[in-house]
Amino acid sequence: MTTDHGGGTLRWTRRNCALLMTAFALFGVAALLFWSFLRNDSGISEKSFFYDLSEKKLFVADRGLVPPIRGLNDAFEDGVRAVVVSTNGQPKDKATWKVAYLEMYSPELKQELMAAKAAGVASRVNRGAAQSLRFVKRVQDAEWVSLTSAEGEQLVTEWVNLGTPTTQPVVCSPE
């Protein structure tokens, strides 16, 4: 088959047809990959786990909230951030979830962070000072300890030992 284009002819051979079909197929694959890339979630959840100290229950809230926040049952701010891990390395397996530790901020740090957020500016508290104004504890512990203390540093790293000899625990995010 030949087609006249006013100055030359284009000959439709099997090779040309195969090349054209290959180009269309590659274009289709590229378009599909691009669409998949655009739809791909970054993997960062906009939600975080919190733990209501009076109800002793996990709940999910916006990760940008500064704990303590209002809990589940009343207006009292007894909701603290919870770091939840899957002990078998499978975060979708909720039966393996364990609260590794809880975290809250001092009233001074919370006030500063909320004021900075409301004003749309960076906090004036430097990172080192901010770390010393964050407190952690296990669910069963009675007392909060500073994140920068030796006990606090140990507490936030001991969850890596919650796995089995063949699996590592992983931090879970709400879906």
How far apart, in Å, do the first and last CA atoms of the chain sit? 58
Are 66 and 80 contacting, i.e. CB atoms less than 8 angstroms apart?
no
Tell me phi and psi for residue 25, to 5 degrees: -65, -45
Using the Cα atoms of residue 173, residue 102, residue 51 and residue 104 in order, give the sign of their dihedral: negative
Q: Looking at residue 149, what is its pLDDT? A: 94
Note down pLDDT in tens along the chain; length 175 residues. Answer: 555 555 555 667 887 777 777 777 677 666 666 655 555 444 566 899 999 999 999 999 999 999 999 999 877 899 999 999 999 888 888 999 999 999 999 999 999 999 998 888 888 888 888 899 999 999 999 999 999 999 999 999 999 888 777 888 999 999 7
Give the Å distances, CA to CA, from 144 to 13, 102, 151.
78, 9, 10
The residues spanned by each domain of the chain are 2-39, 47-171
